[in-house]
Every structure is written in structure tokens, then in C-alpha cells.
Structure 1
Amino acid sequence: MIITAWNIRGLNDPLKQQEAQHFLLVNKVDCGALIETHVKHKAIKDVSTNFSGYNLVHNNDSHYNGWIWIFWKPNILSLTVLHKYAQHMHCLLLYTASQKFIEVTFVYAFNARLDRRELWKQLNNISSQERLGSSDVQLADSNEFKNCLDACSLVDHPSTRCHFTWNYKLLEWAKLDRVLASPQWLTNIHSTIAYLNAVVSDHSPCLGNIVDMPTSRKSSFKYLNCWALSPQFQDNVKEGWSNHYYGNHIATLFPKLKKLRGSLRRIHTSIFTNLSARVAEGKQALQQCQDQLNCSPIDLTLIAMEKTLLKDYLMVKRAEMQVLYQRAKVQNLQLNDVSTRFFYSRLADRRARNSIGIIQDENGKLCTGFKEVSQGFISYYKTLFGTSSLVLPLLTSVFLQDAIPSDCYNPLVQHVRVHEIIDALKSIDRHKSPGIDGYSSGFFLDAWHLVGLDFKTAVF
């Protein structure tokens, strides 16, 4: 589904009408908004006839200038306007093919600061029913705008192509047009945003693409530091490490690590899935037990139950924070510095920024969706590297004799000491991405007394 928004700066000019129609057609837009149309009510019928194949809804009845016009293809989408005001229109879109709903708000903010206050209140009312946490916003020029974004939990959607979306006679440049999204949107919906050249306007059109996620596949194994909090962790590692394999030291280490994956996955399934729900349930059970204990402070059964519930709650709470910290990769923060909602927000933002959903091929065509993007990369690198190459003979003349002085050579070939291995392992942040086998330095540190000997032997 292709969604667009373009501040056209006047749609009464037939040239701009033709350019807008061409833009919708070429980019196969399913739904979009033309902003700041300046079309009076009496001219709506004449102008709208140039956009055949689209249904139209506007806010001319909310403001005489008709700031926002929304188009959509009725055979692709079903659109319902939930809120209509002078500065924004909030819509519910039903994608007919997948029967999925999304909510989209098209906004044109007035120039006067006092006039925009009403917009911030209205947007805050839209998001007040569902808040996912504070956001790391760095785009506000005014405190009122920043407060609105914080209250609505909105962040700047990652985008490609033009960085500056507005210019004044090519002398002044600024990023005025933005697509804002909630952390929930960035987590659950795979979308891409591109700002294209302004052409006949001084604002760049925004082209958004919402694509279905690829068919789910079994996720690759990645060690989570929270698994070491499980009481069964050490026993599972000990049992998995008791298997014997033949070969050199490195050849015997990797089969043990591979065999252990199944046990660690079972620990994750039994204890560490749906951590947020487990934290909420654990906290509720603990509070209920403490309420009962307040009424019967000498009940030994309740005292024992409270200790068990507290221990379980603290374990899943620490596990939740460790998982979010490890996946979000937030730098220079400790686990108790910020709330869980902050990590969810950063994780969603990081996933969106690491996703490549739109590229431009060598012919200038925009490729969107997983298939087109992957084929675009394959085609580019096939052209760059080719499919086969000749192997040239090795030129021994390029090697220099005695290139390294003996006083530098000897330290390089010395035997590795045990403390050097341990120090090197501890110097690797346990939150760093794991190696190809899925294990990070955190696993070897957590189970060092069980796996340390094989690890050191493999290094030697």
C-alpha cells in the first residue's frame, strides 16, 4: 500500500493539477493527501475531476481555504474520517486485501504559534487513549510542539532521498515536512518513507510504502544474558557440556555449543517469553499477597509465599530490562536509568532505522518491498562483481624478506597466557552482538567454571 503527502502550495493552477495527477499515477499511490490546496468550495468539483479513479474527502467545511484534500482508491482501500478540523484530518484505513486497519493523520499546521496550540490539543486527544512511553525527540523548535510529541509518543519516521523538504527560492533550506510515527507503528508495521524532488512546489512530496512482512521463519539463535538468571541454567549447561566429541580442541567445542542451543531455547520458552505480561502478573500477585500479609502479619504460609513471589518478580523484572537493554543497544545508560517504555521506544526506532525498505536502482526506478529491494541489491552487485572471475597466479616477488625486526617478532609468537584470555573475554561488552554461532561473551562469562577449560584449550 502506497501512501503519500505533498504540500502542493496551491492546486488551482492547471499545471499543478496535471503534475499532481502524474505524481499519483507514476508512483501508484493508493492513498494520499495534498496539503495547502487553496481551492475554494465552488471550485472543488472542477478540480477533482482531474483525479479520476480516486475518491476525495476534504476539510473545506472546516476552513474556507481547504487546506487538506485526501485521495484514495476505493477498490484498494476503505477510508473513514474520524476527525476533521482546520489543521488536521484523522482517518481510519481498511486495506481490502488483508483486512487490516491503520490510523493515519494528515496535518497542516498554521504559521501562527497561537493558532497551532489548538492543533497540539487535538493531536493529544487522539493519542490519549493509547500511550506507549516517552520518545527521544530532537526536532521541536518550540516547547509546545515538543510537549505535544512527548504526550503523543511520536518520533520522526526514518526516511530516504531528500533531507531538506522545503526551500525558499533555493536560498534557504529546511526540513519542515515530516512523517511522525508511534513506537507501536515502527514495531508492528513495515513502512518506508521517501521525500522526492519538489518539482513545481517548494515542498517535497512524501511517498510512503506499507508492505506486508515476509513469511515468518525460524529465528536464528542468539544468547540472551537473562537466561543466566534461571535456576536451571547451570544444570542445563553442565548436562550439555558432558557430551564427548572427537577431534581437535576447536572441533570438539563447537558441537557442544550447538547441542546446548536446544536446552537454552527451552529455558527461554518456559520462563522468558512474554516478559512484559509476566512482570505485570508477578507484580499483581505480589501485591495481593502483601495485602493479605498486612491483615495477617504472622501467617507463616503468607510470609513464605511473599518471599517466593518477590524472588520470582525480581527475576522476571531484571530479565525484561536485560533483554530490552541488550536488543535496544542504548549506549551510556544503566538498567535503572530509564523506564521500560523508553527501551521499547528505542528498540522500535532502531529496528526501523536498520530496515531498508526502498532503494533507487541504476535506472532511477524506486524499488519498494522485500522482493524488489533484494533483487535490486542482487542485480547491482552482480553487475559490480560479475558472476565469475579468473584467479591470477600469486606473485612471490611482492613479499619482502625480514620485514619485521626480530625484537618485534618474538613477542608476537609467544604462547598465550590464561589471564590474557580471560582479560580479553571480559573486555568484550556482554551486550555486543553475538558471533555467527549465536553466543556472546556473556555466555562464557556466566558459565566459565563449566566451559572455561574447553574454551582456553581451544584458544591454545
Structure 2
Amino acid sequence: MKIASWNIRGFNCPLKYSEVKDYLVVNKIDIMALLETRVKEHKASKIIKKKFSNWHVVNHHESCSTFHLSIVYGCNDPLDRHRLPVLLQLPLQNLGWCLDMLDFNDCLASCHLDDLTCTGVDMTLTNKQDSVTRVWSKLDRVLANPGFISSFPNAFGHFQEPGISDHSPVLVHVSHDKKVAKRFSFLNSWAGHPDYLQTVKAAWDTPLEGSPMYCFFQKLKSVKHALTHFHKQHFSNISQRVESAKDALVECQHNLVSNPFSDSLIQEERLLIAEYTKLKDHEFSILSQRAKIKDIQDSDCSSKYFFAKISKRTHQQVIGGIHDHHGKLHMGFSSVSATFNQYYQDLLGHSSTTTPLDTDFISSGAVVNSSDGHFLIREISPAEIRDALFSMDSNSSPGIDGFSAGFFKSAWNIIAKDFCKV
């Protein structure tokens, strides 16, 4: 589904009728919102009947209760703008919805709204004057709440050229593309489990033959498979495990009310408290790492907050649309993937003649002296490698294989020998 919004800056001109109709047809729009039309009620029905008879049209003189979509124009009057936060805190905020908004920032935090990932032109407003007095500004935005992003993780907006208006139209592409499988990512909370090092060692000690680099990465692959199974066994559905542990603790304490001096129930309560606390710590560690949140206390937020942040980060990484070398815009996961593949096939799939390296030109420039040269190629000691590794933040972003510095530090005694060979 494609949803578009355009601040048309007056819709009483026949030229603009044609522009809007062409935009609808070319972009195959399903839902279109026109802002600041400045059309009177008696004239609106005539325009609709004459130019848009095959469209179902709802204007601000009418109401429609079968679909929830908010297209908000930030009024120039500050007093009128203060009414908008109240409107946004209606029951609609619990649904999946998005807004196209102009000059409206104050209520975003209270309504849990974030910018949808957008492509296209950056400056969405221009006064179309000469170079001395011309103004460019970013006024138009597409915002979405966590419910919308969760329902449509691949949704994105695309701002196009303004054409005859001062504002750029925005096209929101909403699709149910299949979700890409989650890639492996090392979780620091694994290292605290008593079976963690044993799991890593069993996978790492697999005998292999080949170069040190080949053996190292083959062992990483073995560890990846082992830790994936390890996660499913001990950490999967961590929030549900926390809830189950809490329910078991509450039930035990309920039984203690009727039998407060039972040694077995007292011992069971202690074990359940320890289990609940451990799982709660694991949940906090996992969610904060995935959400990339630092310096935050457990009491400051709930798992709902973490999941909202994780969903936002995941959505920001989505490449919703891309132009090919012909300038054609491709949207949707399948089309974008095919465009990327085609680009790199064309780029790397053909041989070409390269210019030989001019060694005389290189030697005529500044070069390192003999002492510096020997220092650069000297063998690096294991102690230097370890110091460099352990100076890194354990929460730093992982490499493309999913292993962060936290893994190498936690399993150093197992992997050190192979690590230093590489």
C-alpha cells in the first residue's frame, strides 16, 4: 500500500488538478492527503465530481470513522498548535498509526512518536525566490508510533521534488515484506552462565587443518552454532521466562501466607527469588545491549521501553528504497535486494585493464627510514595484542560475524593462541 501527502499550497488552479492526478497515476497511490488546499466547501464537491470522480474523497468538512490516518498541519497560530497534543492523546495512540506533520515537535516524546525512515530530498520546503532571498527548510516529516513500526517494519517514506508547490510530496510505502532472519549477535549476558566457557571450549577445540586465518574463522563458525543452541536452551524468550519466574514466586509466597513457618516453602522462596533475580538481570542486560542503551538504571524503564527502542533501531537500518543507475526508484525488500545484487554484478562481474603501479613516482616521495621500517614490520607480542583487545569496550558494535569484543575478552583463555596467530 502507498500513502502520500502533499502540501499543495492552494488547490483552486486547474494546473494543480492535473499535477495531482498525474502524481496519483505515476506513483500508483492508494491513499492521498492534500494539505492547505484553501478550497471552500461548496467548491470542493465540484472539483471532486469533475476531476476525481473515481476516488473516494473525505475532506475536512466531513468525517470518516472506518479508517485511522492522521494528516496534521501545524497552524501558524501558536494558540491553535497547542490543541494538537491533546488530539494526539486520544485512544488512537494505542493503535498502529503514523502522521505526516509540519512544524510540530513538542508532543513527540509524550506520544511516543519517532521519524519514519525516509529517503529523497532533504529540504522539503522552498519559497521559490531568487538566490539572494531563497529559503530552504525541512518542515515536512513522517512520524510513526511503536505500534505502526512493529506492524510494518519495512515501511519508509520518500520525499520527491516539489513540482509546482512549495512543499515536497511524501510517499509512504507500506508493505508486508517477509522479515529478514535475525543475524547472530553475541550477548554479554551469556558469559555469566556457568556452562558458557565449557560450551565455547567444546566448539573451539575442534581439530582443523589449514592456514591460521582459515582455522580461526572455521572455529568461530563452530562457536556461533554452539552459542545459538546455547541461547535457545538458556536465554530464549527471556521476558516470558521472567514472567514465569515471577508467577512461581508469587504463588510460593501466597502459599506461605497460609503456612508461614514451612521450612520447605521458605527454602523454595529463596531459590525462586534467586532465579527471578538472575533472569531479571539477564533480561535487562540483553535488552539494553540490543537497544544500544548505556548508563541507564533498571528502575528507569520497562521491557516495553526496551522493545520500543529495539524496534526503532531495527527500523532505522531498513533500506526502503534505492535508485538504480537509470534513476528509477525501487521500493520494497525484494526489489531493493535485486537492485543491490545487479549493481555489484555489473561492477565486479567484468574484467578491466588497470594502470601499472609507478614505483619510481612512489620512491620519489617521502618514505620512512630504515629504523621506522623495521619497527612497522616487527613481530607483535601476545601481550600487546591482549592489551589492545582488553582496552576495547565490551559493548562495542560486533563485526559482520556477530562477535563483539566482549566475546574475545570473555573467552580469551580458550582462544588466545589462535587469536594471536591471526
The answer, yes or no, to whether TM exceeds 0.5 is yes
Change (3 A) 1:394 1:409: closer
Cα deviation for residue 452 of structure 1 reads 3.0
Name the residue aligned to 1:333: 295
Question: What are the within-5 Å matches in structure 2 for residues 101-116 of structure 1?
Answer: 103-116=68-81
Q: Distance in 2 between matches of 1:435 and 1:118?
A: 47
Name the residue aligned to 2:283: 320
Higher relative contact order (CA 8 A, sep 6+): 2
Name the residue aligned to 1:435: 399
1:175 aligns with 2:134: no
Name the residue aligned to 2:331: 368
1:201 aligns with 2:165: yes
Task: Output the TM-score relative to the length of structure 1.
Answer: 0.77
3-state SS of the aligned residue for 1:304?
helix
Q: Distance in 2 between matches of 1:253 and 1:381?
A: 28
Question: What are the within-5 Å matches in structure 2 for residues 26-425 of structure 1?
Answer: 26-49=26-49, 50-61=51-62, 81-82=64-65, 92=67, 103-129=68-94, 146=106, 148-168=107-127, 170=129, 171-189=134-152, 190-214=154-178, 216-217=180-181, 219-247=182-210, 249-293=212-256, 296-330=259-293, 333-334=295-296, 336=298, 338-339=300-301, 340-378=303-341, 387-391=350-354, 395-397=358-360, 400=363, 403-425=367-389
Cα deviation for residue 31 of structure 1 reads 1.1
Letter in 2 for 1:266: H
1:447 aligns with 2:411: yes
C-alpha offsets along residues 7-53 of structure 1, whole Å, 9 cap, x if unaligned? 22332322222211111111111111112333333333321131243
C-alpha offsets along residues 392-412 of structure 1, whole Å, 9 cap, x if unaligned? 555554564994323323333
C-alpha offsets along residues 200-247 of structure 1, whole Å, 9 cap, x if unaligned? 222221111113324655x44332222223332223223323433344
Q: Distance in 2 between matches of 1:335 and 1:61?
A: 48
C-alpha offsets along residues 148-194 of structure 1, whole Å, 9 cap, x if unaligned? 32232111223222323334454444333221101332344111212
Which structure shows the bigger proportion of residues in strand conformation? 1
Cα deviation for residue 116 of structure 1 reads 3.4
Change (3 A) 1:149 1:290: farther
Name the residue aligned to 1:134: none
Deviates more, 1:109-118 or 1:191-200: 109-118
1:23 aligns with 2:28: no
- Asked if structure 1 preserves the Cα contact closer than 8 Å seen for 2:73 and 2:102, the reply is no
Q: Distance in 2 between matches of 1:345 and 1:115?
A: 30
- Asked if structure 1 preserves the Cα contact closer than 8 Å seen for 2:74 and 2:103, the reply is no
Letter in 1 for 2:125: W
Letter in 1 for 2:192: L
Q: Distance in 2 between matches of 1:207 and 1:346?
A: 25
**Aligned length in residues:** 410
Change (3 A) 1:216 1:165: closer
- Asked if structure 1 preserves the Cα contact closer than 8 Å seen for 2:94 and 2:147, the reply is no
3-state SS of the aligned residue for 1:348?
helix
3-state SS of the aligned residue for 2:396?
coil
Letter in 2 for 1:327: R
Deviates more, 1:1-10 or 1:156-165: 156-165
3-state SS of the aligned residue for 1:15?
helix
Q: Distance in 1 between matches of 2:383 and 2:270?
A: 40
Letter in 2 for 1:239: A
Cα deviation for residue 61 of structure 1 reads 3.6
Deviates more, 1:338-347 or 1:394-403: 394-403
Deviates more, 1:444-453 or 1:261-270: 444-453
Deviates more, 1:294-303 or 1:104-113: 294-303
3-state SS of the aligned residue for 2:409?
helix
Name the residue aligned to 1:136: none
Structure 1: 5+ residue runs without aligned partners? Answer: 63-80, 83-90, 93-102, 132-138
Q: Distance in 1 between matches of 2:230 and 2:56?
A: 53
Deviates more, 1:435-444 or 1:333-342: 333-342
Cα deviation for residue 59 of structure 1 reads 2.7
